[in-house]
Amino acid sequence: MHSLSQLRSGELAGITRLKLSENLTSFPLEILSLADTLEILDLSDNQLSSLPQEIVQLRKLKILFASNNRFNVLPEVLGQCPELDMIGFKSNQISVVPENALPPKLRWLILTDNQIETLPDSLGLRPRMQKLALAGNRLNTLPKTMSELHNLELLRISANQLQDCPDHVFSLPKLAWFAFSGNPFCQSSENKSSNSIDSVPHVPSSSFTLQSVLGQGASGVISNAVWNNPQTEYPADIAVKVFKGEVTSDGYPQDELNACLKVGYHPSLVQPLAQVSEKNHLALVMNLIPPHFKNLGLPPNFDTCTRDTFPAGFTLSIAQIDKMVNQMEDVFNHMHDKQVCHGDLYAHNTLFDDESNIIFGDFGAASMYHMLSNEQQQNLRQIEHRALKFFIEDLLSVCREDDKLSDAFKRLQDAVAR
């Protein structure tokens, strides 16, 4: 975090990244002094509602964050920033996206949690677009021009007002991570998932006590917990995910819970044990994952955009990769046999142990699709199958050099190429 006083004193001269959060109500023109070097500008968590025309002077600016501000309109001046390729305006009050507000090199657009009903046709005229986050708006349609986004790999449209499944996105050749729950087209008069969801018992939140936090994400906080009374029905070691109860970057927490429960038991999935569904308190009780399991990958970064990253020097043998891929393929088939699209099939959502056993989780972007036509269901399965191929490809990228001539390596390469 930087300060205006640092900027005004010249202390920040020559920096490439700037983050200012000082309850700003107007854009500090002192930022323009960094025009020759500034690449990433973060103005999130302020009170801004507009940007000045002078921002185009930041000719090296590539990334702009302005989440949690007071914008009602996506600033049209952004379309005149020649190098800008990532824009994040999450959690504003944006209802209008002007036709000319999208810069020509746009690759990553985040408009989550706003009030947008329609998007301009120019959205489909941004050929570099890879990642598009639109969850938590009021969209009732998507531009037909989106069928031209041939490089789009990740799309989030959950928690909107889409009456019809947007079939025109199914033809996108690289789309692999797709979340769409919480729209009217996802509702059905006959909820075919209700039996599997209700089969997971309900328990009161007073039946356990949360202890240390194990992790947290967009939709909630996971903690280890202990039962307040001795249990015979459940394991003694449990973890509890308490949902935040609000729209997230992936959709509604209730949809995440329902999808997780519908998928049910699989040895390579985090196992749900019970659910809590009380007023203002939604939670999932799960088996506690043994501590010897560790993260398989790290999330994408600004450069990779949609693809996982790995720690420097991290490698796997082809035998490890082969075993993990076999397990993930089985998980994939299990989920889709249950008519659930995970939406976030990644190594960074996977844990593994020294014997290459995996545990896959995080259903925040999951969507049930039993209400869709057979053709639409097959299209969704094909989309997520691309994510599975990317998963395999990412693991092969960290394969040990002396294993890259093996038959198993070539077989997995062929599986990705098909």
Binding-site members for ATP are 241
- CB within 8 A of 5, min separation 6: which ones? none
Q: Binding site membership: which residues?
A: 241
CA angle 131, 56, 135 (to 5 degrees): 25
Closest CA to 339 of 372, 363, 314: 372
Tokens representing 157 are 């449209």
Quickly tell me which residue has 């789309």 as its tokens.
Answer: 175
Closest CA to 131 of 76, 62, 192, 177: 177
Residue 334, SS3 per DSSP: helix
Cβ–Cβ contacts within 10 Å for residue 100, how many?
Answer: 13
Phi/psi at 335 (5° precision): -65, -45
> Which amino acid is located at 224 in the chain?
N
Closest CA to 327 of 347, 307, 341, 311: 347
Distances (CA, A) of 150 to 123, 311, 386: 12, 30, 14
Tokens representing 249 are 């970057």
Pairing of strands 177-179, 154-156: parallel
Sign of the torsion angle spanned by Cα atoms 250, 1, 47, 13: negative
Closest CA to 143 of 113, 128, 123: 123
